[in-house]
């Protein structure tokens, strides 16, 4: 069974640029959630995708957008990068949206915005 | 709006001592409460998931309790080892995970 993978592992961008982060969900999982974790804080929910549709969104501006593909992998796109976007971005997959489902996290992508 | 708090923010104990990590949440309307471990610069590893109808869950040296009425969960780690050094995060689940800021644990040999 393949776990959740994310790419790239690290990324450096400048303010105003755009970035795309990628996540491959664990085999058999159809739900992907994205989180932003600033240094010293807990992860904050960005949004969730279930069977290629957005299924819930946290308090993030529209410049944070996403996609889920038919193989259930996912992308997180961030436009017009700001310095405060520097963080560890985590994706998590699960086999559904039900309350008993454990979410499995990937290793994260560390984004630095200069 | 759900708020999840973890106290203390950091904890240091000698090897062999039992660890007690606290988590409190303001809204008792949760599906479940989850505990995660995070090593520096890494992703999260799920440790225990307690359904809202349950009072506790156990896995090896780990035991987590849930008291919805008081809005509290506690993670106990028995006979701590240096390998237990990490940040421990709790999260309530209601359609999405709402995390606390974590407790950074150092177990000294």
CA-nearest of A62, A79, A58, A66 to A32 is A66
Say whether residue B46 is in contact with chain A using an 8 A CB cutoff. Answer: yes
d(CA B22, CA B64): 10
pLDDT of A8 strictly over 60: yes
DSSP 3-state of A83: helix
Q: For residue B96, what pLDDT is reported?
A: 84
Range name among A79-83, B2-6, B12-16, B25-29 with the lowest pLDDT average = B25-29
Would you call A45 and B98 a contact, using CB atoms and an 8 Å cutoff?
yes
- Selected residue with higher pLDDT from A55 and A18: A18
Q: For residue B2, what pLDDT is reported?
A: 87
Buried b (16+ CB within 10 A) or exposed e, B40-49: eebbbeebbb
**Residue whose pair of structure tokens reads 């739900």 in the numeric block:** A31
Q: For residue B93, what pLDDT is reported?
A: 87
Would you call A92 and B44 a contact, using CB atoms and an 8 Å cutoff?
yes
- Residue pLDDT, tens place only, B48-105: 999 999 999 999 999 999 999 999 999 999 999 999 999 999 999 887 889 999 999 9
Q: For residue B38, what pLDDT is reported?
A: 96
Residues of A with Cβ-Cβ distance to B51 under 8 angstroms: 99-100
pLDDT of B108 strictly over 80: yes
- Residue pLDDT, tens place only, A20-39: 999 999 888 899 999 999 99
Say whether residue B2 is in contact with chain A using an 8 A CB cutoff. Answer: no
User: Which structure tokens are listed for B36?
Assistant: 């995660």
């Amino acid at each position: 069974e393949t776990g959740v993978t994310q790419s790239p592992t690290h990324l450096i961008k400048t303010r105003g640029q755009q970035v795309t982060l990628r996540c491959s969900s664990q085999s058999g999982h159809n739900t992907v959630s994205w989180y932003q974790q600033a240094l010293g804080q807990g992860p904050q929910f960005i949004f969730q995708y279930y069977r290629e549709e957005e299924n819930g969104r946290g308090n993030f501006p529209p410049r944070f957008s996403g996609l889920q593909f038919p193989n259930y992998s996912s992308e997180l796109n961030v436009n017009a990068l700001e310095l405060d976007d520097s963080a560890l971005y985590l994706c998590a997959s699960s086999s559904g949206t039900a309350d008993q489902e454990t979410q499995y996290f990937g290793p994260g992508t560390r984004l630095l915005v200069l | 709006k759900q708020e999840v708090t973890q106290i203390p923010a950091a904890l240091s104990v000698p090897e062999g001592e039992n660890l007690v990590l606290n988590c409190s949440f303001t809204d008792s309307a949760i599906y479940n409460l989850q505990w995660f471990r995070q090593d520096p610069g890494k992703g999260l590893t799920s440790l225990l998931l307690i359904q809202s109808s349950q009072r506790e869950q156990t896995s090896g040296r780990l035991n987590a309790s849930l008291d919805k009425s008081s809005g509290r969960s506690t993670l106990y780690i028995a006979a701590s080892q240096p390998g237990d050094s990490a940040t421990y995060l709790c999260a309530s689940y209601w359609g999405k995970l709402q995390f606390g800021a974590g407790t950074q644990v150092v177990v000294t040999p």
